[in-house]
Every structure is written in C-alpha cells, then in structure tokens.
Structure 1
Amino acid sequence: MKKKLLATLLLSTVILTSAGNVLAVKANDTDSKIAAQDNKIREIANQQASAQAQVDEIQAKVDEIIAEQASLTAENDRLQAESQALSAEIQKLAGDIVSRDEALKKQARSAQTDGSATSYINTILDSKSIVDAISRINAMREIVAANNRMLGQQKADKEAIVEKQKSNQEAINVVEANWKKLDDASQELNTQKAALKVAQLNLAAEKATAEDEKQALIAEKAAAEAAAQAAAAAQAAYRAQQVAVAQQQQQPVVMNMVASAVAPAPTETVAAATPQISYDANNTYPVGQCTWGAKQVAPWVGNYWGNANQWLYSASAAGFRTGSTPQVGAVAVWASGPYGHVAVVTAVNGSQIKVVESNYAGNQYVSDFRGWFNPAADGVSGYIYP
C-alpha cells in the first residue's frame, strides 16, 4: 500500500496595490483608499484562514485512514503467517492420526485373525521354565503398554488438531474481516482525498490575484467537485452492492442433484429433486467465501477445516473418506493457490460435473455459476465424501 502524506499549501501574503499619482490626490481620498485596501486584505486573510482550517481537518482524516490501513495490513500479514504455521502443524497431525488409525486397524484385524489372546496363553504355557515364563509375560506387558501409549497419543493428537483447527479458523476469519475493513477504508479514503482536493483548490482560488488564473482555478475546483461527487456516488454504489450481496447470501438456492451416464445436450432440462440450502447459524467460515458456501450446502462438513486447500487432510483426520472420483453430494477440492477452492457436486455426467459454490468470480453467494465442466481439466485435486 502506498503511503503518501498530503501537504497543505503554504499561505502567502496577498498584497493589493493601487496606482495613481498620490501627489494629485487629496489626503482624505488617499486615506480612504488605504482603508479600503486594508479591509480587502483582512477579508482575504480571513478567507484563507478558513480555507486552511478546512484543508487541515480533511488532511487529518486522510492521515487517520492511511494509518488504519497500515495497521490492518500489518495485522493481516501477522495472522496469515500464523495461519500458515498452524496449517503445517495441522497437516502433520492429520498425517500422524491417519497413519496411527491404520496401524490400530491392522492390529485389530490381526488379533481377530490370529486369535492373539489364545496365542499369548499358549506362549506362556510353552515356556521351558519359570524364568522363561516370566520373561515372556514381561515381553507381552511391553507390547500392551506400547499399544496403550499409541492409543493415548492418538487421543492427544486428535484433541490437539481440534484446537489448532479452531485457532487457524479464527485467524482466517479475522483476516477476512480485516480485508472488508480495508475495502471500506479505501472507499472512504478516496472520498476524503477528493474532498481534500476541493478544499486545496478552494484555498488556491482565494489566493489567486490575477483574474485569468483565478478563473482557471475555479474551473479546476468545479472538476474536483465533480470528481468528489463521483467518488461519493462510487462509495454509495459500493455500499449498496455490499447490501445486495448480503441479501443474496440469505436467499435459498434451489439445486438439482442428479447423476447421468450421458452428457446432457446444451438445451436439455434435467428433472430431479430440488433440495434448498438451509442457512446454519453454526457455520463458522467467513460469510461469502467458498468454505462458507460448501458448509451451507453440506452441513456435514466440519466447522474448523481451515482454508479450502487444507480440507482434504482435515477431512481425512476427521474420519471422512477422500478420493479422486466425483460423486453427487461430495465436496470437490482445488488445493492449488494460496487458499484453494471448494464446491459441492450436484450432478455427474461421465467426465463432466456440475457444482454449486460461493465466491466464484467474486460472487459471494451460493449458486451454479459455471454449468457443466471437466473437473480434471479444471484442476480439481480430490473429493470428500459424506
């Protein structure tokens, strides 16, 4: 963000002179003209002081907005770094949990197949001596203790990943809120800068002594006032657009959930059940983002899975299946980019799918924005199944 401090125009002394031959003018006429000139000088000085006060007031507002933008940007940089660190920790914990789950499942299957309890008893009965039996018992105790430690670590890691996911989601939400504040501040800054330009030109016009120069400044002032009106109109349009998006986010979206083996013709209408999106107050993702939209459409999605590019391993750690085959009702995940993207599959036709999503092309509400497309060609990394 560029920081540019606007300097106020320096006040200069306006000297009005009169011409004529003082020797040919009576004393009382000279005194009268001097008094008139003094009055004009005082009037112009008062006007300049008033204009300068207006410039100073607007400059203070501009400086305050610039300082706020710098503070919010610094906070976003810090939170994004924190989120990246948490993401790495979450990914490692998720990998550990999935690997440990697989090891425990293999152990359980082995126990059912081999009859481990009977095997342990036979091992003790086959001991050649008491010393040998005690040694075998101790070895079995070590195996049981190791299993208990693995279960304890598994429980601790699952608790840790939940806490880190919550912290990560909180950081992501604050960053998103800060970006909204920065957008609002940018609109306000443009309006204040336009107003400052008007005030500065007003001051310059008051200081102009030549009529042609003053007329040029007046024309420039009129252009600046038009620019200020345009900036105010742009700010009003921005606010109206934000209100419209918020209203759109609250509108139920009707979706067709279908699966077909044949790709539909361009004009084909596919008949299917039409479930509506229910807006869940427990959705913790930033409103309007793709993660929020996926949670709205698929309430079974976890609340603290982080950015979209973190969802595949967060879902695996939570016990959900993942894979590379699209299915109706599954969450499609794009893992590339700094944040990734997610959408919910509503139809499958061979190599083509349809999805509903939020924050596609900047549209921060849920809808089918793209129709049929090839997920492999579009870079889909995988799917999460309910």
Structure 2
Amino acid sequence: MKQRSTTPVSSKGIVTRSALVAAAVLMGATTPLMLAGRAFADQYDEQIKQLQSESDNYKQQASALGVLAGNLQAELDKLTAQKTELQRQISQSQAKRDKLDQDIVSTKKKIADTKDALGDIVADMYVDDSISPLEMLASSNNIGDYVDKQEYRSSMQESLSNTIKQINKLKTQLEKQKKDVENVIKDQEAQKQSLAAKEAEQAKLVEETKGQESAYQALVSQRSGEIESLRAQQAAAMAAAARRYNINIGSGSASGGGYPSVWANAEQDTIVDSWGLYNRECVSYAAWKVASTGRFVPHFGGAGNANQWPSTTARYGIANGSTPKAGSVAIQYVGVYGHAMYVEAVNGDGTITVSDYNNNSDGLGWGRYHHYSRSAAGLTYIYF
C-alpha cells in the first residue's frame, strides 16, 4: 500500500508575548487550511486509491493471462514438434514403401528372367525325355556318363521346383510388407490430421489469451493516465489552497536533507525502501532520517501509513506522546494516510522546525523535500 500523505502544512506561528493569544491566532489561521487540505486529500486520494486498486487488479489479470499464454504457447510448440516428428516418420514410411515397390518390380523381373531360363531347361529335359534309357546309354561314353545325365535331370527338376517356390515366397513377402507399410502410412496420416486440428485449436487459444492480456494492459495504461491526471488536479488544488491561505514554506526539491539519491532520484513509488515503504513518501524519509542517526526503525510490513506509525511502533516498545522533542517524528492525522515529519528542533515560540517529503504545499508536485517551521500543537510525537 502506498504511504501517501497529502497534508498541507500550516503557516509559521506568529511570535507574541502572550502564548494564549499566539495559539488562538495560529489556530484561527490554520484551521480553514487544514479543513480545506483534508477535503482535497479525501476528494482525490479516494479516487486515486480506487483507480490504483483497479490498476493493480488489471495488472494481476494481465500477469495471470501472460502466464497462461506462455503455458498455452508451450503446449502449442509441443504439438508442432509432434506433428513435425510425425511428418518425418511418414516420409520414412513412404520411402520404405517406394523401396518395396522397386523390390517388387525387381522381383517380378527376376521371376520373368528365371522362367525364361527354366523354359530352356525344360525344353532340354523334354528332349532328353524323348530318348529311351537304352539310347541314352548307347549315346553315353560310359556308364559314369550315363549316371551323370540321370543325376543332372533329377537335380534340375528339384532346382526348378525350389526356385519357383522361393521366388513366389519372396513376392508374397514383399507384397505383405508393402501392405503393412501402407497401413502404417494411413495411421500416421490420420494422426497428423488429428494433431493439425489440435494445433489449430491451441493456436486460437494462444491468440485469444494474448488478446485478453493486451486488453488488460491497455486498461492498466488507461488507469495510470487517469491517476496522473488526478494527481495533477490534486496538486493544483493544494497549491491554490496554499495561496488562498497565504502559506509559504518555500520551494521544495526532489532530493534534500541527505535522503539517499537512489530513492530520491527515482520516480516516486517505484522503489520499496529498507523499511517496506515507498520512496519519496513522507514515511520513507522519516524512517531514513531516524535510522541515519543510528536509532532502530522497525520494518513496517504493510502497516506503514503515517497514521499507523504510533500503533505499529508501539508494538516494538517505542513510546509516543503529545510533547514535541527534537529527533522525534511528528504525526499529523489528516487525509486518508496521515503525514509524517521529522522534528529538527523545538522552538520557544510554540513552533517546531521540521523536514519532510511529499506535502506538496508549494504546489510543485508530490515527492519533494521541504524544511520549515510550523505549529507544534495537535500532533502525535514518536520517540525513537
């Protein structure tokens, strides 16, 4: 939560001999401004708080959608990778099928060539069959030659039978392998179509989710613009109020009082300091100022609005009261969040000299440093 204070600062007390008269005059001079300042604070702070809440919600929605879009994109990438791998397998299967087609063609040619060769062998055997055994014996050079012819005839008959069986078996195997490969290709194509459908659906989800994320980001940008506009209006109203009631504490600066440059030079409310407070806020400056003197300042952890400081610090045994003391932190209960100031000195005229951040009474904008004197009355002081 932002620890923003929109408290205008009262004019320096008028030194008179009568403390009672001085207090009465000071109260009469400052009361209209405090009331007007509080009205301005409530009027704008509540609107800013509401817009900031909406902006934070939109940021959360955009962030969640961004994560979802990332997860959906990862799933889409997986589907695309699976489809690519499946296409590679299909290409391999198609290459295998083409090779089988070539093998089948080659085998058929081999069958044709073998049949031609076997035709010649059959013809020779037919010629040999037309010769009687006596004539074959008579034509043989000897008994051994006759026996060789008989064995050759028997061998060729067996070879013919085996060759035909082997070729037909090979052809059957090749055709079965081709059919199996075609079935595999068919299944792979079906899987590819299914993956393609899932991929298209996933891509649509990614696109829709990213579109929703962009819409929320646009809303965040819109709310940021509205907040800046309200802050500008608030600053102008506070400056007008300061002029109307003749308040002049001098021009503040973006950095001052020794406040660390890493926080002072950054855009307001963009860095959380060592005590859980946003930079260039009144509470961040006050916490740093106390800590810079070597004193303990607790981590506020979400309970660091100025008007929460007395109760928050009390839990750590840090006392508070209504008596101003140099080195204490003065808390003014005003607006939504209150305002914190570091007490530099306690003056004899009923005023205190303070330094602070983010009161905008000079009308130059929020998140600036000031050093001035003001009434000590009506404040709660925390004694670190």
Q: After TM superposition, is the score higher than 0.5?
A: no
Structure index of larger Rg? 2
Greater relative contact order, per chain length (Cα 8 Å cut-off, separation 6+):
2
**TM-score, length-normalised on structure 1?**
0.41
**TM-score, length-normalised on structure 2?**
0.41
